[in-house]
Amino acid sequence: MEIKACKIVTIKEIVPLFKGEEQANAIELALFEEIGNTVVVGKDFYKQGDKALFIQPDYCLSYIPLFQEYFAPGGDPKKCKLGGNNRIKAIKFNLHSGDNQPTYSYGILIQKQLVSEILNLELIEDFDWDTKLGITKYEEPEPTQKGNQGVACPFPDNMYKTDEENINNLVNDIQFPINLILTEKIDGSSITIWYKNGKSGIASRKLGRPLVYEKVVGFKKPNFFHKLFTKITFGKYKYFGKKIMRQTENDDNFVIRGKPYLEKLNKYGKNIALRGELVGKGCKGSGNRNNPKAREDTHIEFFCIDDYNDHTKKFNYTEIENIAKELDLQLVKKYCQKDFESLEELRKYCNEIFAEEKSKGRLIEGVVARTEDSSMSFKIMSMDYDLKK
């Protein structure tokens, strides 16, 4: 299903917040029918059954009056809780909802009456709110190396672009009990290395990465007439000479690191695509200084392998492990494969993984959950990691 930045949601429950045993008198927690996010809201702003406009985390707000309070809460820009490029990120409150665990607000909620008063619009489902409000997905710039800005080629045909869906958008689609494989979600640069019918290549998240490209290495000297034309126009039309092009090997980091795996695929000779994360020193990821992979030597960890005979289609996880072993690929860390009886049990288990990794000095971005047959996969994000991005 298509996931948009903005969504009309229904308040399922309003939960009181506490500091110790004392109830907070200014804020409370909103839960929703359609999504699994929780949002801290002002006391008595909402009641059960109310409709509101929800904007997803990891999207960026535009500078319009509707969002003024988020750029300058109470008129003070220093209190702004948005991330880089006005990104909506997790916000931590040292309050609890009865479980003595910190509360996270994940996304923003706009009251129906504010939409009406400021935008003169009714809160309706069949409307392109993303465009109207200027909401854009937060994305890191495509990394380049050694000045090769713009050295790219079209993304491979019939190939999906990697981006796991957040569990919060699927809470009504997951049927429990369910058997899931949990692996580490790594904060790196997405890389795809593929082979199909004798052709092969490397791509980042959205762009193909050519192995060689035409580079300008100089200019042919202008002849007498070119010089004369420049002179009589007083330099207004200056001729620098025809470009001299040379086919040059791409020194892009994706190509350098991906080539050894490309050679393996060419020898393997099967139509497959390797999906991984390029991580380590010199690889930006989201730029989070807490990224544990940023301190390691540069390498690729693979999280999926696709059948590429036609459109890319994920292999089941057993087949992924078998191919990875055959090609000597490093897969991302696997935590478990087990049955989960409920969403609450799954979230609790993931939070225990986050806590255990943190105790080892590793603040990880999240966990990816997938079924054995790869028919469903989604990410469960660490709030501690997100709020520090």
Specify whether the CB–CB gap between 73 and 56 falls below 8 A: no
Q: Where are the alpha helices (DSSP H) in 154-282?
A: 224-232, 253-268
Q: Does an H or E element contain 71, and which?
A: helix 68-71
pTM for this model (two decimals): 0.87
The whole-angstrom separation of Cα 373 and Cα 312 is: 15
DSSP assignment letter at 331: B
For residue 239, the number of C-alpha atoms closer than 13 Å in the C-beta half-sphere is 16
Q: What are the backbone dihedrals phi and psi of residue 77, each rounded to the nearest 5 degrees, phi first?
A: -60, -25
Q: Is-cis flag, bond preceding 260, omega within 30?
A: no
β-bridge pairing 103-105 and 39-42: unpaired
Which fold does the domain 165-211+250-386 belong to in CATH?
D-amino Acid Aminotransferase; Chain A, domain 1 (3.30.470)
The whole-angstrom separation of Cα 13 and Cα 30 is: 6
Nearest residue to 107 (alpha-carbon basis) of 12, 39, 33, 15: 39
Rg, Å, the chain Cα set? 25
Give residue 149's pLDDT.
47
Beta-carbon contacts of residue 48 (< 8 Å; ≥ 6 apart): 11, 12, 13, 14
| Domain locations in the chain as residue ranges | 6-137, 165-211+250-386, 213-248
Q: What is the pLDDT along the chain (389 residues), one digit of tens a residue?
A: 457 899 999 999 999 999 999 999 999 999 999 999 999 999 999 999 999 999 999 999 999 999 999 999 999 999 999 999 999 999 999 999 999 999 999 999 999 999 999 999 999 988 999 999 999 999 876 655 444 445 778 899 999 988 899 999 999 999 999 999 999 999 999 999 999 999 999 999 889 999 987 776 666 666 666 666 667 766 666 555 566 667 788 888 999 999 999 999 999 999 999 999 999 987 777 778 899 999 899 999 999 999 999 999 999 999 999 999 999 999 999 999 999 999 999 999 999 999 999 999 999 999 999 999 999 999 999 999 999 88
Give residue 247's pLDDT.
75
3-state helix, strand, coil in the chain (%, to 5): 25, 35, 45
Give residue 215's pLDDT.
73
Nearest residue to 53 (alpha-carbon basis) of 94, 15, 104, 108: 108
